[in-house]
Structure 1
């Protein structure tokens, strides 16, 4: 009898493990009405890929590129490139920040120069709605660190004990003539000013640590309020009950076949409505982009499970070291409305058909055979509302064609009503050919977009030459 009971118990344990494994491998998807997830990331090397991109997922495992797969924010400060972004939400949801590494590899910087004499700044954007963002600014975080050589992979977390943010990042302070990245921290309430940086995490000897991300745990899960994952030769897990308190080493992910030689950039995500998490890891060694490993207890290294490639999809662009936010319904609505997959188009001149509208040094003209992103625009729903159009630059997102008197420039949207009116047009049948298009000014309806001496102008149209100059084809 005891042998039968033993066998029965073993079967029940196996069944239980099977269903536990299944629940981790295929987490229950949120109900259709539930909001999804937003990822901010970069996509690779070069000046275009080292900018800010957004992706959205309804279930946390299958991702869709927003904005047609194009960048959503471009850094115009510092090195003019950004990597490793974090997305920070204020406790009351009234403000958001993106903080990112000021780094542009292969567009003016090498890895050696960025390690040993890189930017000491972070790049910061601010928003009140996740849809419209400020111009970027530089935040010097490593300048006060003696012999600090750079500032990489920033993160921030709200500290309820002090009602401000703990901002932390990696800085190289050489040790015995060799590279030695440590994690430093400072406090901030606005990401404009910080307290004096202090050492936060340092590994023994010459071991570096670069990528660290902290997640707050719900009550009753694991033994710690906070868990952090770090890249330090492994993907190391640690736990603590205080952000700046004592942290306990919990182990690493080498037991599930994931070492620091293979993956980096740990990025947490909690599935909605359930105590299940994904830890996304960037497969940098194989150039494979992100992959998720799932767990029901982030503090337990043995609980993590790798996923079959068929169980997730990262979308059309490669996702590199970023951050995932669980959206509210209102946030999701605003983001999806602002960054739909509107195609990139060119505007071809009717009477000079080898010329296209383009921007150069933020001035706007028509030039011959332009195929670069300087001549690519997204025809957005007009900034004043539906039924109209506005022209947003592809390679300077947030910048629109704006009339200023009779002239045109590419200008960053300042969010004012005046800007919206100046950058909005009615798309009508072409004045010279009804199969083409013309664009009537919203706030000066007697004027149209035209070219004159190859410069883009806003003029009344009174003759055949003007009608030809004011006619364009929207083309790929």
Structure 2
């Protein structure tokens, strides 16, 4: 069992002002490229030494045929139901800027297409745990009425951060979850994504990690590196019901390629994993794929062909009526992009999507107008 390590409580002050105009897409700050080569500017974390851990079982890497990659879902047109936005629905997008030093930011949209900064672009929560970064903030609204957030606390930390809020303004004490602190050879814990599984009645947290010596078949000497050593990620996961104790980390997905940024949704028929192929050499892929399973806990089958452009990362999936919109960070082109789909088989570029300048990897989610308005007070 893994338990969280908590920090001092943090409260947010009220926000002043509001920027209502739509911002044109522009360049991101000259921060270190996420998930990229080692950079002396990036903070390092002391390696925690331990013995080999058998809690992370190897995955069955048998490749499936193309016909069995994506199980067929019922894609009939949806009638009006609770998935359709109402007059009270507003969309928020949590994100970070720069290297994540100043913490949590929000963008807001009435239609899931045109996004504006919230609170003039201020930070709503400063990082207090780990290496004291707050990258990749992932937020879910739980059945307990609270918003639960996890994030990357540092480039080479062995755990992730977690905090909770009822209004996204006032937050609980932050905790550090050393989810891989006692596993030998762990290099990092990147981009944790939190989901609520209503069937299992627990929170599922998925992240990417390189563990030295594992998956040598995809280790690339000329691939991405960190601190002078090659990176070769797979997705791992833990679950919790109370954010006090966490199940032992397990291998969540091995699709036979270097993978990061895994997001899970359920489309009513099956669970869908959106994941980035992080392969760099001999030909860079750096694009998004999908895999499916009968439940959110997996196991997930082989990944589809790429549906996004190359050189993207940080997907987040938003339900908009009868379709899903998948946002992603086009980090080398310094902009955000999006694809729409109804069945996770056919994808079309989302039209007329605009974002504030400098947004980086986060989560899009629906809230009530009262919650969004509260962030402006």
State the TM-score, normalizing by the size of structure 2: 0.67
The corresponding residue for 1:229 is 274
Pairing of 1:294-309 with structure 2 (within 5 A)? 294-298=340-344, 300=345, 303-308=346-351
Give deviations 1:262-303, integer Å, cap 9, x for gaps.
2111110111xx211111011012222x211111222x0xx2
State the superposition RMSD in angstroms.
2.1
Find the aligned partners of 1:89 and 1:334 in 2 and give their Cα distance: 12
Give deviations 1:317-358, integer Å, cap 9, x for gaps.
32211111111x3xx313322x22xxxxxxxxxxxxxxxxxx
- Residue among 53, 66, 71 paired with 2:123: 71
1:285 matched to 2:315? The reply is no
Shift of 1:191: 2.4
The corresponding residue for 1:42 is 96
- Large movers: runs of 4+ above 3 Å: 175-178
Say whether the 8 Å CA contact 2:233–2:259 is kept in structure 1.
yes
Q: Secondary structure at the match of 2:372?
A: helix
User: Greater RCO between the two (CA within 8 Å, min separation 6)?
Assistant: 2
Pairing of 1:410-425 with structure 2 (within 5 A)? none
Shift of 1:132: 1.8
The corresponding residue for 2:32 is none
Shift of 1:70: 1.3
Say whether the 8 Å CA contact 1:228–1:239 is kept in structure 2.
yes
Shift of 1:201: 1.2
The corresponding residue for 1:129 is 167
- Residue among 220, 242, 260 paired with 1:210: 260
The corresponding residue for 2:202 is 164
Find the aligned partners of 2:322 and 2:91 in 1 and give their Cα distance: 16
1:313 matched to 2:367? The reply is no
Shift of 1:46: 6.0
Q: Secondary structure at the match of 1:294?
A: strand
Q: Which has the higher strand share?
A: 1
- Residue among 170, 181, 200 paired with 1:143: 181
Find the aligned partners of 1:120 and 1:314 in 2 and give their Cα distance: 32
Shift of 1:193: 2.2
The corresponding residue for 1:95 is 146
Shift of 1:250: 5.3
Find the aligned partners of 1:65 and 1:241 in 2 and give their Cα distance: 37
The corresponding residue for 1:333 is 370
Say whether the 8 Å CA contact 1:40–1:54 is kept in structure 2.
yes
Shift of 1:145: 2.7
Find the aligned partners of 1:243 and 1:46 in 2 and give their Cα distance: 29
Q: List runs of 5+ in structure 1 lacking aligned partners.
A: 1-28, 104-113, 219-223, 341-379, 381-476
Q: List runs of 5+ in structure 2 lacking aligned partners.
A: 1-83, 217-228, 279-286
The corresponding residue for 1:270 is 319
Find the aligned partners of 1:140 and 1:182 in 2 and give their Cα distance: 18
Q: Which has the larger radius of gyration?
A: 1
Pairing of 1:72-471 with structure 2 (within 5 A)? 72-92=124-144, 94-103=145-154, 114=155, 118-175=156-213, 178-204=230-256, 207-218=257-268, 224-233=269-278, 234-249=287-302, 251-254=304-307, 258-259=309-310, 262-271=311-320, 274-288=321-335, 290-298=336-344, 300=345, 303-308=346-351, 311-315=352-356, 317-327=357-367, 329=368, 332-337=369-374, 339-340=375-376
Q: Secondary structure at the match of 2:113?
A: coil
Residues 1:54 and 1:124: Cα distance change in structure 2 (over 3 Å): same
Find the aligned partners of 1:237 and 1:252 in 2 and give their Cα distance: 8
State the TM-score, normalizing by the size of structure 1: 0.54
Q: Secondary structure at the match of 1:249?
A: coil
Find the aligned partners of 1:30 and 1:215 in 2 and give their Cα distance: 18
Find the aligned partners of 2:132 and 2:241 in 1 and give their Cα distance: 25
Shift of 1:245: 2.9
Q: Which has the higher helix share?
A: 1
Find the aligned partners of 2:366 and 2:326 in 1 and give their Cα distance: 14
Q: Secondary structure at the match of 2:186?
A: coil
Say whether the 8 Å CA contact 2:253–2:300 is kept in structure 1.
no
Say whether the 8 Å CA contact 2:265–2:296 is kept in structure 1.
no
Residues 1:46 and 1:35: Cα distance change in structure 2 (over 3 Å): closer
